[in-house]
Amino acid sequence: MARWQPNASERLVAAALELFEERGYEHTTVIEIAERAGLTKSTFFRHFPDKREVLFGGDTMAGLLAKGIAAAPATATPFEAVAHAMDAVSREAFTPARREFGARRRAVIAAHPELREREALKGLGLTASMTEALKRRGVPDLAACVAAELGALALKIAYECWSDTTDGDDFGEVARRTLGDLQAASQTLGLSGRSAP
């Protein structure tokens, strides 16, 4: 019987990414991922329900965003609370060591429709998590929804920019810039301070 080994989840993710790059997602099996990681198939299934989920981190990101919003100062606007959540995600998930992994992960996802679909579903889950976290702060439903949607869009754009560059900006800086750009764009569209026709 195989003994427990540290970092099994990370090893499985790294092995899966390598194999997806080498052979393609469709031609890689769970057994091959486990073997590449030096683990068993049962260890794989203790961490992930299937091979598609290995690149998506479960609910970790949604939890980090919700905690970041909850921890924002009581005086923070909904948009400021979302920015606070981006900072929390930056510290926990988007470290400089993960930048290259992010670019490689995005390339693998872009090449496989099933993974693109899962990425879209994850985005919806992140939006829902932020919406609920904002509502728990007392933000009205529509404002919570809009702030969460803009936050999810900022997260997607920032992740793409951050993982594609080698400059020294950390993810939090890129995400805050992106949030600012989205806020400015909404103002140029005439979305603030005017009644609907």
Q: Rounded CA gap, 65 and 120, in Å?
A: 17
Q: For the packed helices 8-23 and 99-110, what is the interaxial angle rounded to 10 degrees? A: 50
Handedness of CA 67, 70, 75, 76 (dihedral sign): positive
User: Closest Cα to residue 178, out of 168, 169, 189?
Assistant: 169
Looking at the domain assignment, is residue 178 inside a domain? Answer: yes
Domain boundary among 36, 54, 72: 54
Determine the Cα–Cα distance for residues 32 and 50; give it in Å rounded to an integer. 13
Residue the block writes with tokens 């329900």: 49
Give backbone dihedrals phi and psi of 25, rounded to 5 degrees, phi first: -60, -45
Residues 28, 116: one domain? no
pTM, whole model, 2 decimals? 0.81
Count: domains in the chain: 2
pLDDT(160) > 50: yes
Q: Are residues 100 and 44 in the same domain?
A: no
Above 50 in pLDDT, residue 180? yes
Lowest-confidence pick of 43-57, 101-115, 155-169, 171-185: 155-169
Contact 133, 65 (CB under 8 A): yes
**Assigned domain for 151 exists:** yes
- The predicted structure's pLDDT at residue 176: 85
With respect to residue 194, please indicate whether it lies within any of the assigned structural domains: no
Range of the domain at 23: 8-54
Can you tell me the mean pLDDT for 54-60? 79
Q: What is the CATH number of the domain that holds 36?
A: 1.10.10.60
In angstroms, rounded to a whole number, what is the distance separating the alpha carbons of residues 98 and 94?
A: 6
Q: Are residues 21 and 81 in the same domain?
A: no
Q: 12-26, 29-43, 138-152, 182-196: which range is least confident on average?
A: 182-196
Question: For residue 88, what pLDDT is reported?
Answer: 85
Q: What is the mean pLDDT of the chain?
A: 86
154, 182: one domain:
yes
Pairwise CA distance, residues 15 & 36, whole Å = 6
Q: What's the pLDDT score for residue 15?
A: 95
Higher pLDDT, 193 or 178: 178
Say how far residue 108 (Cα) sits from the centre of its chain.
Answer: 15
Residue type, 81: A
